[in-house]
Amino acid sequence: MTSAGAAHEGSAAIFLTARDTEADKVAGLSLGGDDYMTKPFGLEELAARVRTVLRRTMPAGPPGAVAAAGPVLRVADLELNQDTYEVRRAGHLIELSPTEYRLLRYLMLNPGRVLTRAQLLDHVWDYDFGGSSTVVATYVAYLRRKLARYGPDVIHTQRAVGYSLRLPRG
């Protein structure tokens, strides 16, 4: 590690590395790193650590404001609060099952990107899920129905490929 890898003033840095000795960790944090993760690591843990570092390093806004990098994901008039597990569409609270919530969250983390059924199964359902990919279509239908109560469809189907979350065509 060199000082070139150090964080600059006003920025945040998380070291992602295979170097796992205590000396390496101390060096990384001493060079200005805000966190240090060694391989292998899970994406959920990385996302949580990024949110934590950003909460710590981002300047606070006016009272009641939500930081851009905060826990609230937004696409069009859809909001998902990762801290409270609340989902709102056009200001209306929408009750979702845990699986519907995880599906919507993953779609919102990848707006505009077509996600295959296999990707959705890998990221939304448990790694040892033994069901078929038809469960994805079933849950997309459930989610569409609930979201459609308050606005146009934002989940788009790419035939024979998968699904994406994007602004309604108008």
Helix (H, G, I), strand (E, B) or coil at 143: helix
Residue 59 pLDDT greater than 60, yes or no? no
Q: Is 86 within a domain?
A: no
Over pLDDT 70: what percentage of the chain? Answer: 76
Range of the domain at 144: 96-165
Q: Is 71 within a domain?
A: no
Q: What is the CATH number of the domain that holds 13?
A: 3.40.50.2300
Q: Is 141 within a domain?
A: yes
**pLDDT tens track for 106-139:** 999 888 899 998 889 888 886 555 666 688 999 9
What mean pLDDT do residues 143-157 have? 94
Give how far Cα 107 sits from Cα of 27, 28, 68, Å. 37, 34, 18
**pLDDT tens track for 26-53:** 888 778 788 888 888 888 888 878 777 7
What mean pLDDT do residues 143-170 have? 89
Give the range among 24-33, 59-68, 142-151 with minimum mean pLDDT. 59-68
Q: What is the pLDDT of residue 79?
A: 94
106 and 51 together in one domain: no
Q: What is the pLDDT of residue 167?
A: 77
Tokens of 66: 């939500």
Q: What is the pLDDT of residue 64?
A: 34
Tokens of 40: 């292998």
53 and 100 together in one domain: no
Q: What is the pTM of this model?
A: 0.59
Specify the length of the chain in residues: 170
Give how far Cα 127 sits from Cα of 38, 99, 122, Å. 22, 14, 6
Least Cα distance to 87 among 77, 114, 54, 63 occurs for 77
**Run of H or E including 108:** helix 98-109
